[in-house]
Amino acid sequence: MTRPTLIKNAKLIDPAKNKVEVGAILFDEKIIDIGAITSAPDGAEIIDADGLHLAPGLIDMRVTIGEPGAEHKETFKSAGRAAASGGVTTMVMQPNTTPIIDDQSLVDYVLRRGPDRSGGVRVLPAAALTQHLDGELMTEIGLMAEAGAVLFTNGDKPILSSRVLRRALSYATSFGALIAHRPEDPHLAEGGVMHEGELAARLGLPGIPAAAELIMAERDLALAELTGGRLLLDMLSSAQTLPALKRAKARGVSAFASVNVHHLVLNEQDVDGYRTFAKLSPPLRSEDDRVALTHAVTDGLIDVIVSGHDPQQAEDKRLPFEEAAFGAVGLETLLAGALTLHHKGDVALNTLIRAMTLKPAELLKLPTGRLSKGAPADIILIDIGAPFKLDSDRLKSKSNNSPFDKKLLQGVVKRTFIAGRTVFGG
């Protein structure tokens, strides 16, 4: 049995409410009470938060873990350490492992082995949408959903065949399954390494036009409307895509969208100087795109903020820009990066937390992501104003390719609880 814990004098961020309230929370494995609590059971641990903010643990819907097959980049253990220190209590693991998570036995493997090796951080599998992620033959969505897959995706490999994606969306409706798809036309994006624009031309680098995202997103939204399937447009990067998403939602299409936190805080100028740590897929785009994405989060047009955690070894990043690998770590900087928008006054604190807790929980049909009686006690204590300069070499991930390297951030997780048990801090 988990020892009861009372945290008092905290600023409670409940994503289901549009306000921050001073109060207390009592919990063991689940939340027992919340609000104006004056007493605790005998033997309970009592923590005086002294004005720190308290929120549900973050749910990161896009995490790449190398295990099995690429343990040199990341393991369940290293990802769990990184997640817990960053306030992430649930990770949705991408299927691009070796072997690929494309049958129910591998879904079961992740569910059984992940939490044991991750230090208690919840690890949920996203299963492959097509066999071997090759975009041709649909996987057994029903069997893998029954085994515990929380969504289905082709990862960074877009499905070119509209027929295949239509069949997948249609079949998934029988199970209420969520289909996540990265909208990018690979023919337009082929050979590109950064956002197509004036800066790319000046640096002499081939660009990826925003139209590559828009064209594929328009197709995907049309297929979602045709089939009635639940579609997540995964990691949007361009302002051009947002009107199409808004129109689809207005028509009642079950369409949702996520955005990588890096695209909310950084822009193409962070690539200047051939900074390979900022080489991402989709690429960092213009400042106008960044601003439009932040407005879309405020308006609720974009539902979820993710880390896009994609660890790469130094030897794959410290190369000439065109040769360097795409990807960045993000588990440890998801919260602090997002809080940049709060400190600048661009996005309200409740809105940011909701996009990393309650919204993903609702999309994935999870009981976590909220501060309510009976909910699992996945809780984080945060010093929102605490400043720090990120040193990539001190990250807990096995890889250290962060575009926030050497940047000043604010927001430090002081303690992370999962099912009422401390997994970080304390």
pLDDT tens per residue across span 39-98: 899 999 999 999 999 999 999 999 999 999 999 999 999 999 999 999 999 999 999 999
Angle at 86 between CA 80 and CA 87, to 5 degrees: 90
Residue 1 has pLDDT above 80, yes or no: no
pLDDT of residue 186: 96
Pair (411, 339) in one structural domain = no
Task: Specify if 116 maps to a domain.
Answer: yes
Tokens of 154: 């082709």
Q: From CA 208, how far away is CA 201, in angstroms rounded?
A: 12
pLDDT of residue 182: 97
Task: Specify if 371 maps to a domain.
Answer: no
Pair (198, 73) in one structural domain = yes
- How many domains are there within the chain? 2
Pair (72, 130) in one structural domain = yes
Q: Compute the Cα dihedral for 344, 347, 351, 353 and give only its sign.
A: negative
**CATH assignment at residue 388:** 2.30.40.10
- Reported as half-sphere exposure (CB side, CA atoms, 13 A), residue 393 has a value of 1
Task: Specify if 293 maps to a domain.
Answer: yes
Task: Specify if 372 maps to a domain.
Answer: no
Secondary structure of residue 108 in the 3-state scheme = helix
Final residue before a domain boundary, out of 330, 364, 398: 364
Pair (402, 357) in one structural domain = no
Q: What are phi and psi of 279, to 5 degrees?
A: -85, 105
Task: Specify if 101 maps to a domain.
Answer: yes
Tokens of 307: 């880390």
Secondary structure of residue 285 in the 3-state scheme = coil
pLDDT of residue 38: 83
Residue 215 has pLDDT above 80, yes or no: yes
Q: In the chain, pLDDT over 90 holds for what percent of residues? A: 96
User: How large is the average pLDDT for residues 266-292?
Assistant: 98
Query: Nearest CA to 326 among 208, 203, 149?
Result: 208
Average pLDDT of every residue of the chain: 97
Global confidence as pTM: 0.97
Check residue 118 and report its DSSP letter: T
Q: From CA 331, how far away is CA 79, in angstroms rounded?
A: 8
Under the banding of pLDDT at 50, 70 and 90, the label for residue 19 is confident
Residue 201 has pLDDT above 80, yes or no: yes
Which range has the top average pLDDT, 17-26, 114-123, 377-386?
377-386
Q: From CA 306, how far away is CA 266, in angstroms rounded?
A: 14
Pair (390, 315) in one structural domain = no
Pair (9, 88) in one structural domain = no
Task: Specify if 152 maps to a domain.
Answer: yes
Pair (219, 336) in one structural domain = yes
Give the structural domain span for 49: 5-53+377-425
Pair (25, 104) in one structural domain = no
Q: In this structure, are residues 242 and 213 in contact, taking their beta carbons and an 8 Å threshold?
A: no
- Reported as half-sphere exposure (CB side, CA atoms, 13 A), residue 420 has a value of 21
Pair (37, 65) in one structural domain = no
pLDDT of residue 261: 98
Final residue before a domain boundary, out of 340, 364, 388: 364
Task: Specify if 369 maps to a domain.
Answer: no
Note the pLDDT tens digit of each residue in 94-152. 999 999 999 999 999 999 999 889 999 999 999 999 999 999 999 999 999 999 999 99
Residue 18 has pLDDT above 90, yes or no: no
**CATH assignment at residue 268:** 3.20.20.140
Contacts of 60 (CB under 8 A, 6+ apart): 83, 88, 90, 91, 92, 306, 307, 309, 330, 331, 334, 356, 360
Q: In the chain, pLDDT over 70 holds for what percent of residues? A: 100
Query: Nearest CA to 55 among 369, 411, 392?
Result: 369
Pair (111, 128) in one structural domain = yes
- DSSP secondary structure string, 158-217? ----HHHHHHHHHHHTTTT-EEEE----HHHHTT--EESSHHHHHHT--EE-THHHHHHH
Check residue 345 and report its DSSP letter: T
Pair (263, 312) in one structural domain = yes
Under the banding of pLDDT at 50, 70 and 90, the label for residue 272 is very high
Residue 288 has pLDDT above 80, yes or no: yes
